[in-house]
Amino acid sequence: MRQSRRNFLYGAAAGALALHGRAWAAPGNWPDRSIQLVMGYPSGGATDGVMRPLEMILQRELGQPVVFDYRPGAGATIAATHTARAKPDGYTLHVTDSGPMTILPNGKQLAYDPLKDFTPIGLVCEGASIIVAHPSLPVSNLGELIALAKEEPGQLHYGTSGLGGAAHLSGELFQAVTGASLEHVPYKGGSQAAIDLVGGQIPLAFASTGTALPFVETGKMKPLAVTSRNRVAIFPDVPTVAEAGYPDYDATVWFAIVAPPSLPRHIVDKAHTALQTALNTPEAGNALRAQGYEPAPGSPEDLQRRIQADNEKWRALIRDKQIKFQ
């Protein structure tokens, strides 16, 4: 009887392991299948452009396919929410940016806490938005744009990649420090805003440097300023907002990789090592710089500190300007 009972228990345990073997085995053997890289914006935008140069290197380092999983909408919070609720098994990673992680959480109720509901893997790169105008807009520099916006308050519309994104808050900070009055037009991705700017539906955009570059080169967009503290290498002749007389203005944007909460440390370390290897290759570094971004290698802890610091920075602006993201 005891032997039969023991066999029964062993059989039950073996059955349970068979049912859950994949979930239990995945952390120890990670990765043993393809990895979903969740993207909060459509194909063709800045996030897509940033990750394409890293895709093949990450696949080589991890030994498994990396599949881009596009989940755009709601300022990239749909993708962030999906990630926060996913299993912490290493097969869902998320390419995010400062918008859904440090801006939107301070202006609306979200289904996640950026400081508690993700496991940081590492920063990817950082750079600037660029303020671009349709060629027909009668301004040739930032000073003239500010003067026009003050003469016609609320009449100039600027497009961005989405409500509560880094570009949106770059525009809000611009208005706060310059006294200009602009009207925001959010899109579901920077590429859509760029198309409407080139088509003349909107006169201005705060765009990613990579998205704007081909249109600037062909004369379809007029560059006025970049939002970072320093000039951008691919736009050496375009001044910063600070250079135009507003030294306190700095709206650096960044991209990073995070995972669901409670991801086992050995998976964090392996994913982080693969990311650092990719960022340190000349081909990835050159590709990112060609889009106007600088690789930003660093630890998961560095990313966590950056998320916290930027939350505090944008919280103050959102509160003081009473910005709503509804």
| E strands present in the chain | 35-39, 66-70, 92-97, 119-127, 129-133, 156-160, 182-186, 204-208, 222-226, 253-259, 294-295
Mean pLDDT, rounded, for 60-73: 96
**Angle of CA points 298, 113, 258, to nearest 5°:** 30
Tens of pLDDT along 171-201?
999 999 999 999 999 998 888 999 999 999 9
pLDDT of residue 45: 82
Residue 4 has pLDDT above 50, yes or no: no
Tens of pLDDT along 114-167?
999 999 999 999 999 999 999 999 999 999 999 999 999 999 999 998 888 889
Work out the mean pLDDT of the chain and round it to a whole number: 90
| Structural domains present in the chain | 33-126+254-321 (3.40.190.150), 129-244 (3.40.190.10)
pLDDT of residue 28: 67
DSSP state of 9: H
**Model confidence, pTM:** 0.80
